């Protein structure tokens, strides 16, 4: 250890061995186009260890350049970064799963025994058929449930995407329920942002969905006195689920809280409003009282089937409440 | 800060659990080792550098004194603060300041994340490559060894030679040094003011990368502007400008450097450039101008500084105590002008006790007034959808109601007033308030909601009837916003009209779409809002009258009156300072 340390040796290393590259970089250093410059910046941020995606597409880069402020740029990059991470993880898990499946198949092929069963294994498609049958029934006999699609202007593109995702989930759980609602999309404009997002999700299945889509307002479709608009801002609290009423859910996700937008809509049309009795049944902890659309769907379905508020309100996220009142 | 005499691991852990200070043990011991030796102030600055965000300022328990801002900004490199995981771990030191008030949730999450927290003690002397590699081998997760080591070096302010030896080790083994390590090394150099090293690192980065990112630029500019190479910081600023908008701290460093070297023209130029880019200058920058122009006789410069004072006026910014002192000293140092400054408190009348000067009132001009009224109608009442706060029919009804009974002298927010004494019946509270105000033969308007007209335990209809003889009443729908009506009625009645509510009206101010109108609103609110509070005995109600004067920086040419904050921390927007600096020319 008596050897003398050369503390600046790292500088030599960094400077030497790079001489070749130096000349290149200098000749390369021209005026960069904005996109190229942006790509460069993102790359440097990645090197500095920030939450930045490794790969960024041309389209995303454009969106990045158009972000109005530094913090929105950072947020957007972080969002892309997380998205990338999730995708990677999913892919890794899929690969692992496939490997495992292959292994088990190999084992199975070795033992090779034929199982006896009275049913052929057609679960997925058979289930689909049943669900569709029920949904078709609901389109004739079912209780209507309306999604009000008139809030596009209040939302950012990302919020619209979130909304549509939530509706897709709700539609799914409705179809799988014992007694589905007859789902209506009202005030639905063709070629709207909603429409485009739905097509992204459903592709060809969009035209085969067993729901009613209309550009009409619900007030034209149903008698006014039958309609109840569900909104967290409503002063009226829902007491019991009414099987003769038409409930309306506003298709809106508000990441920045916009109070009274759906209440305003109901007021304008002179409709009855109601909110869920969250305070009455739950010891509220934190979070806004507005729930996601799929949670609403779960709650309404449970109410329709059982009329049991406690059972229905199990679908409120656990983090939002500490427990049930009086339990 | 509590000191723990025990160092046995278990005892320490128990204590830590109780006191909700969640550092890993090694780190704690090391911190205590440090904190036993240094004086209080230094300790504070040491911590604040770790938190490195200006909002997490440690509270100086002793001080009424404004917190010196130089301390808090000793080092901040953007790249590390808000972004990567490691920095979150670094800033865990911040927890310390939450101690008793820390919410449980946060604590739980930190307990969970604790196992991820990796920490090493940097060596005191430069090590040989073999020694580094041994350390690395023994480290729990060797892949991030260098990063963790550098972070703790920055935190402990290790000698720069140690960092160099680590870099040499990395360069030898990998043949290259990653960008983020270079940035971290740079942070260490900046922290210790090693100008030559900073330049060297810059040269290397320059060769190696086409452009740098903002974290490195911030460090370079900060480091160089504090040295005799400060002109290089300016060229760097130029370079930053080519790729992105420089941050306000970039400008801050450069302006301070320029003014420190008496290049006031350059400083002013940078300052204007910064304003043109919509960057909000820190109070530090503005203070630097006053600090470094002391005793100079330069008409241009003087104009600039007056411009800064007017900037404070326009944006309703109040300087803190140290800044105020710089202003005072500068005024008093202008050769041949004979300014004298006095600190004073101004009472409700608005007369300065020092020079007997009457302060400006907060009346708006005719144009401003009309503008504000229009904007209240369009932005606050209608907004994106009239139905959100009221309905068109209701608003129209209200408008005709107001037009028929104009002008009012005082408009009362009935529901707000009715809640002042929680033990009393709501309508009694309101009755008291109306009674108090009605004596002086003024025209009153009380705004309420329809539910007040239904007999209930809180709303006795007989009392309500009696009140309606003394004042005009308007009852809005139960789901409408009555505050918006309050604003409209007051503004419609004219400049003399005041309103009564305890509400700060911040949500309505926020509805206004541009800052100019928001400032107008604040000014108008200061001059027209009457706030009340129940007196201690509970017999009657005290009204805090609206200000007769406007609380902004103001001048008459040969006098200046400047309100200031006593402490550094941000005052609530609704509270205005009572302390003033009075400057007059003898």
Percent of chain B with pLDDT over 70: 77
pLDDT tens digits, B338-355: 899 999 988 777 888 888
Alpha helix positions (H), B20-73: 25-37, 40-51, 69-72
CA distance B497 to A5: 80
pLDDT in tens, A65-80: 888 888 899 999 999 9
Q: pLDDT value at position B482? A: 84
How does strand A321-324 pair with strand A282-284? antiparallel
- pLDDT tens, position by position, B153-165: 999 888 888 898 8
Which strand ranges, in their side-by-side order, compose the sheet holding A182-186?
A212-213, A182-186, A144-148, A246-250, A227-230, A272-274
**How long is chain B?**
586
Q: Which residue has the higher pLDDT, A268 or A326?
A: A268
Looking at chain B from residue 294 to 323, which residues have their Cβ under 8 Å from any Cβ of chain A?
none
State chain A's mean pLDDT as an integer.
Answer: 87
CA distance A29 to chain B (A): 7
Residues of B in contact with A8 (CB under 8 A): 164, 168
The predicted pLDDT at position A293 comes to: 95
- Tokens describing residue B369: 């007034």
pLDDT at B570: 57
Q: Does B246 touch chain A (CB under 8 A)?
A: no
Closest-CA distance, A216 to chain B, in angstroms, reads: 21
Q: How far apart are CA A228 and CA B511, in angstroms?
A: 30
Task: Give the three-state DSSP class for B562.
Answer: strand
Q: How far is A202 from chain B (nearest CA, A)?
A: 33
Query: What pLDDT, in 10s, does the model give residues A217-262?
Result: 999 999 999 999 999 989 899 999 999 999 999 999 988 878 889 9
pLDDT in tens, A276-302: 999 999 999 888 888 999 999 999 999
CA A309/CA A299 separation, integer angstroms? 8
Q: Which of residues 534-553 of B touch A (CB under 8 A)?
A: none
Q: Which is higher by pLDDT, A19 or A96? A: A96
Token match 């209200």: residue? B398
A→B interface, C-beta within 8 Å? 1, 3, 5-11, 13-15, 17-18, 22, 25, 28-29, 37, 40-41, 44-45, 47-51, 70, 74, 154, 235, 259-261, 263-265, 267-268
> What pLDDT shows up at residue B23?
44
Residue A176 tokens, joined = 């799988």
Q: What is the CA radius of gyration of chain A?
A: 28
Query: Residue B530's beta-bridge partner residues?
Result: B500
Confidence check: pLDDT of B504 > 80? yes
Q: Which of B105, B167, B386 should we substitute to test contact with A (largest number of A Cβ atoms within 10 Å)?
A: B167
For B387, nearest residue in chain A (alpha carbons): A264
Strand (E) or helix (H) holding B218: helix B214-225
CB B270 within 8 A of CB B285: no
Torsion angles phi and psi, residue A66, rounded to 5: -80, -10
pLDDT band at B61 (very low <50, low <70, confident <90, very high): very low
Residues B9/B22, Cβ–Cβ less than 8 Å: no
How far, CA to CA in Å, does A314 sit from each of A107, A302, A323, B135? 43, 10, 10, 53
Q: Identify the DSSP state of B500.
A: E
DSSP class of residue B380? I
Q: What is the pLDDT of residues B198-214, one digit of tens each?
A: 998 998 888 888 888 88
Mean pLDDT across the stretch B266-289?
Answer: 93
For position B349, what pLDDT does the model report? 78
Q: What percentage of chain A has pLDDT greater than the value 90?
A: 57
Rounded to 5 degrees, what angle do the CA atoms B428, B430, B433 make? 110
Report how far residue B74's alpha carbon sits from residue B45's, in angstroms, rounded to the nearest whole number. Answer: 8
Per-residue confidence (pLDDT) for residue B541, from 0 to 100: 66
Cα angle A15, A18, A23 (rounded to 5 degrees) comes to 115
Mean pLDDT of B543-562: 85
Q: Give the Cα separation of A154 and A261 in Å (integer).
A: 9
- Does B216 lie at the interface with A, CB-CB under 8 angstroms? yes
* C-beta separation of B322 from B66 below 8 A: yes
Please answer yes or no on whether A10 and B167 come within 8 Å at the CB atom.
yes
Residue of B128, B385, B392, B477 to mutate, testing the A interface (most A Cβ within 10 Å of its Cβ): B385
Q: How many CB atoms lie within 10 A of CB B72?
A: 21
User: Is a pLDDT exceeding 80 seen at residue B8?
Assistant: no
B444-449 sheet: strands from edge to edge = B472-476, B444-449, B410-413, B498-500, B529-534, B541-544
- How many Å apart are CA A100 and CA B481, to the nearest integer? 62
Decide: A289 and A234 in contact? Cβ < 8 Å: no
Q: How confident is the model at residue B234 (pLDDT cuts 50, 70, 90)?
A: very high
The CA-to-CA distance between both ends of chain A, in Å, stands at: 72
Residue B35 binned pLDDT confidence (cut-offs 50, 70, 90): very low
Please report the pLDDT score of residue B463 as a whole number.
87
Pairing between β-strand B472-476 and β-strand B444-449 as defined by DSSP bridges: parallel
**Which one has a higher pLDDT value, B530 or B39?**
B530
Of A81-90, B61-70, B212-221, least confident by mean pLDDT is: B61-70
Residue A215: band (very low, low, confident or very high) from pLDDT cuts 50, 70, 90: very high
Pairing of strands A212-213, A182-186: parallel
- Match domain A142-324 to its CATH number in 3.40.50.800, 3.40.1280.30, 3.20.20.70, 1.10.10.10: 3.40.1280.30
Structure tokens at A264: 């305003």
Inter-chain touch A49–B79, beta carbons under 8 Å: yes
CA distance B480 to A266: 14
pTM over 0.80: no
B8 touches chain A (CB under 8 A): no
What's the pLDDT score for residue A18? 53
Report whether pLDDT(B135) > 60. yes
Mean pLDDT of A23-41: 66
Query: For A267, which of B167, B176, B387 is closest by C-beta distance?
Result: B387
Rounded to whole angstroms, how far apart are CA atoms A201 and A123? 23
Q: Specify whether the CB–CB gap between B226 and B189 falls below 8 A.
A: no
* DSSP string covering A220-277: HHS-GGGEEEE-TT-SSBP-S--TTSEEEEE----SS--TTHHHHHHHHHT-EEEB--
Gap between the Cα atoms of A240 and A295, Å rounded: 18
Subunit contact B387:A268, Cβ cutoff 8 A:
yes
Interface of B with A in 142-201 (CB under 8 A): 147, 161, 164-165, 167-168, 170-172, 175-180, 183, 200
Confidence of residue B98 (pLDDT cuts 50, 70, 90): very low
Angle at CA A191, nearest 5°, toward A187 and A197?
90
Domain ranges of chain A: 23-105, 142-324
pLDDT one-digit tens code per residue, B166-175: 988 888 888 8
Min Cα distance A111 → chain B (Å) is 44
To 10 degrees, the CA torsion angle through B76, B79, B80, B82?
100
**Residue A225 backbone phi and psi in degrees, to 5:** -75, -5
pLDDT class of B534 with cuts at 50, 70, 90: low
Q: Which residues contact B75 (CB under 8 A, 6 or more apart)?
A: B49, B52, B154, B187, B190, B191, B222
- Distance, in Å, from the CA atom of A208 to the CA atom of A193, rounded to the nearest integer, reads 20
More confident residue, B19 or A127: A127
Q: B539 pLDDT band (50/70/90 cuts)? A: low
Q: Mean pLDDT, to the nearest integer, of B313-322?
A: 90
pLDDT at B113 over 60: no
Q: Enumerate residues 75 to 104 of chain B having a beta carbon within 8 A of any beta carbon in chain A.
A: 79, 82-84, 86
User: Is B59 a residue whose pLDDT tops 50?
Assistant: no
- Confidence band (pLDDT; 50, 70, 90) for A90? very high
- pLDDT tier at B470, thresholds 50, 70, 90: confident
Contact B464, B453 (CB under 8 A): yes
Cα–Cα distance measured from residue B114 to residue B332, given in angstroms and rounded to the nearest whole number: 55
Please give the C-alpha separations between residue B547 and each of A240, B437, B517, B572, B583, in angstroms, as whole numbers: 53, 17, 20, 17, 22
User: Which tens digit of pLDDT belongs to each residue from B513-524?
Assistant: 888 898 899 888
Q: Predicted ipTM?
A: 0.77
H-helix or E-strand spanning residue A158:
helix A157-176
Q: Which residues of B touch A50 (CB under 8 A)?
A: 79, 83-84
pLDDT at B312: 93
Q: What are phi and psi of A39, to 5 degrees?
A: -60, -40
pLDDT of residue B92: 39
């Amino acid at each position: 250890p008596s050897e003398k340390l050369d503390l600046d040796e790292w500088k030599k290393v960094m400077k030497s061995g790079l001489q070749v590259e130096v000349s290149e970089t200098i000749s390369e250093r021209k005026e960069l186009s904005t996109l190229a410059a942006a790509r460069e910046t993102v790359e440097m941020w990645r090197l500095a260890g920030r939450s930045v995606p490794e790969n960024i597409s041309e389209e995303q880069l454009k969106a990045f350049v158009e972000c109005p402020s530094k913090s929105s740029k950072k947020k957007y990059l972080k969002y892309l970064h997380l998205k990338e991470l999730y995708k990677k993880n999913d892919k890794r898990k899929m690969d692992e799963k496939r490997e495992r499946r292959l292994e088990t198949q190999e084992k199975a092929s070795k033992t090779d025994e034929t199982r006896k069963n009275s049913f052929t294994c057609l679960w997925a498609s058979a289930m689909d058929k049943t669900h569709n049958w029920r949904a078709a029934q609901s389109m004739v006999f079912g209780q209507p449930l309306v999604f009000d699609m008139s809030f596009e202007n209040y939302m950012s593109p990302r919020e619209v995407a979130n909304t549509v995702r939530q509706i897709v989930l709700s539609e799914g759980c409705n179809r799988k329920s014992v007694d589905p609602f007859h789902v209506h999309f009202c005030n639905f404009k063709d070629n709207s942002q909603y429409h485009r997002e739905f097509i992204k999700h459903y592709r060809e299945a969009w035209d085969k969905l067993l729901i009613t889509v209309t550009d009409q307002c619900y007030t034209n479709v149903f008698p006014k006195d039958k309609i109840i608009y569900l909104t967290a801002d409503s002063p009226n609290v829902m007491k019991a689920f009414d099987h003769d009423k038409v409930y309306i859910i506003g298709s809106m996700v508000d990441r920045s809280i916009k109070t009274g937008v759906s209440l305003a809509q109901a007021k304008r049309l002179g409709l009855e409003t109601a909110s869920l009795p969250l305070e009455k049944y739950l010891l509220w902890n934190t979070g806004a009282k507005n729930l996601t659309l799929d949670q609403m769907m779960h709650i309404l379905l449970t109410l329709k089937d059982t009329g049991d508020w406690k059972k229905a309100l199990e679908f409120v996220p656990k983090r939002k409440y500490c427990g049930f009142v009086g339990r | 800060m509590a000191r723990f005499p025990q160092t046995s691991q278990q005892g320490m852990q128990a204590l830590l659990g109780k006191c909700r200070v969640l550092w890993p043990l090694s780190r704690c011991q090391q911190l205590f080792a440090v904190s036993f030796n240094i004086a209080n102030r230094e300790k504070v600055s040491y911590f604040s550098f770790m938190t490195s965000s200006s909002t997490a300022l440690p509270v100086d328990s002793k001080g009424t004194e404004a917190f010196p801002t130089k301390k808090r900004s000793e080092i901040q490199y953007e790249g590390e603060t808000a972004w990567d995981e490691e920095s979150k771990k670094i800033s865990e030191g911040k927890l310390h300041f939450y101690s008793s008030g820390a919410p449980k949730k946060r604590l739980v999450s930190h307990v969970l994340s604790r196992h991820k927290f990796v920490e090493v003690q940097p060596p005191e002397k430069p090590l040989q490559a073999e020694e580094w590699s041994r350390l690395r081998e023994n480290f729990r997760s060797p892949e991030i060894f260098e990063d963790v080591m550098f972070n703790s070096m920055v935190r402990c302010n290790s000698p720069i030679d140690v960092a160099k030896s680590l870099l040499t080790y990395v360069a030898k083994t990998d043949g290259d040094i990653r960008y983020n390590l270079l940035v971290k090394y740079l942070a260490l150099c900046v922290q210790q003011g090693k100008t030559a090293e900073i330049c060297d690192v810059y040269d290397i980065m320059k060769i190696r990368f086409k452009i740098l990112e903002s974290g490195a630029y911030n460090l370079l500019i900060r480091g160089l502007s504090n040295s005799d190479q400060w002109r290089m910081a300016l060229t760097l600023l130029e370079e930053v400008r080519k790729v992105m908008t420089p941050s306000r701290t970039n400008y801050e460093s450069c302006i301070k450097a320029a003014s420190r070297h008496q290049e006031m023209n350059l400083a002013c130029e940078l300052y204007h450039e910064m304003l043109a880019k919509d960057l909000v200058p820190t109070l530090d920058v503005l203070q630097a101008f006053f600090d470094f122009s002391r005793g100079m006789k330069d008409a241009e410069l003087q104009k600039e500084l007056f411009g800064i004072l007017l900037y404070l006026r326009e944006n309703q910014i109040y300087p803190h105590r140290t800044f105020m002192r710089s202003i005072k000293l500068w005024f008093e140092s202008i050769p041949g002008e004979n300014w004298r400054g006095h600190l004073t408190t101004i009472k409700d009348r608005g007369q300065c006790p020092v020079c007997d000067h009457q302060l400006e009132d907060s009346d708006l001009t005719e144009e401003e007034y009309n503008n504000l009224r229009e904007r209240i109608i369009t932005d606050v009442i209608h907004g994106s959808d009239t139905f959100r706060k009221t309905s068109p029919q209701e608003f129209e009804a209200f408008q005709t109601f107001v037009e028929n009974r104009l002008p009012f002298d005082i408009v009362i927010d009935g529901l707000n007033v009715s809640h002042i004494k929680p033990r009393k019946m709501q309508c009694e509270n309101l009755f008291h308030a109306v009674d108090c105000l009605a004596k002086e033969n003024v025209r009153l308007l009380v705004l309420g909601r329809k539910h007040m007209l239904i007999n209930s335990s809180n709303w006795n209809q007989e009392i309500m009837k009696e009140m309606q003889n003394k004042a005009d009443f308007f009852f809005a729908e139960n789901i409408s916003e009555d505050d918006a009506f309050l604003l409209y009625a007051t503004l419609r009645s004219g400049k003399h009209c005041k309103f009564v509510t305890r509400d700060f009206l911040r949500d309505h101010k926020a509805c206004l779409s541009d800052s100019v109108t928001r400032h107008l609103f604040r000014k108008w609110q200061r001059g027209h809002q009457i706030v009340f509070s129940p007196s201690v005995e509970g017999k009657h109600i005290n009204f805090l009258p609206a200000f007769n004067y406007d609380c902004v920086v103001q001048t008459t040419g040969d006098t200046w009156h400047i309100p200031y904050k006593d402490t550094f921390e941000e005052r609530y927007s609704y509270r205005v300072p009572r302390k003033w600096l009075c400057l007059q020319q003898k």
